[in-house]
Amino acid sequence: MILTEILAPGAVKVLPKASSKKRLFCDLAGIARDVHGIDYDTAFSALQERETLGTTGVGLGVALPHARLPDLDEVHGVFVRLEHPLDFDAMDRKPVDIVFALFAPEGAGVAHLKALALVSRTLRDPGLCAKLRANADPAILFTVLTEMQASEAA
């Protein structure tokens, strides 16, 4: 699995302000609806529900909210960079400014786990995260996210 299989260029955004997790989840659900045709209410509710189980803030300013949804055939991703970091109750208590949300089919056990592992591995790279934080153009952010895997696959 590679990021371009789950992330479309239009699903990469820079958000000027997210005042809360709830507001961020609204934005993520809206992008998922607009780019992937995912039902907004279902996506929003699933993100909220998953977050009640424990924070998806993994540390170092990164959050990986994810949800399983009915009526999906494949895993879809949404990436946002926040201009102003948001308190996310992350494990290291640092605010979050890099968010990669995943939406997977309800029965996609292995595919969902592979996608989570891929995104987690990708965003553990401090150099890559520095590049993401230094850019505000969604096209550049998409390229930064996907170029490393493209060069490895070549």
Q: Is residue 84 flagged as an active site residue?
A: no
23-32: list long-range contacts, CB under 8 Å, 24+ apart. 24/80, 24/82, 24/86, 24/99, 25/51, 25/65, 27/80, 28/65, 28/78, 28/80, 28/99, 28/101, 31/78, 31/80, 32/76, 32/78, 32/101, 32/103
Contacts of 73 (CB under 8 A, 6+ apart): 105
Residue 105, both tokens = 């089919």
Active-site choice (36, 66, 76, 112): 66
What residues act catalytically?
Answer: 66
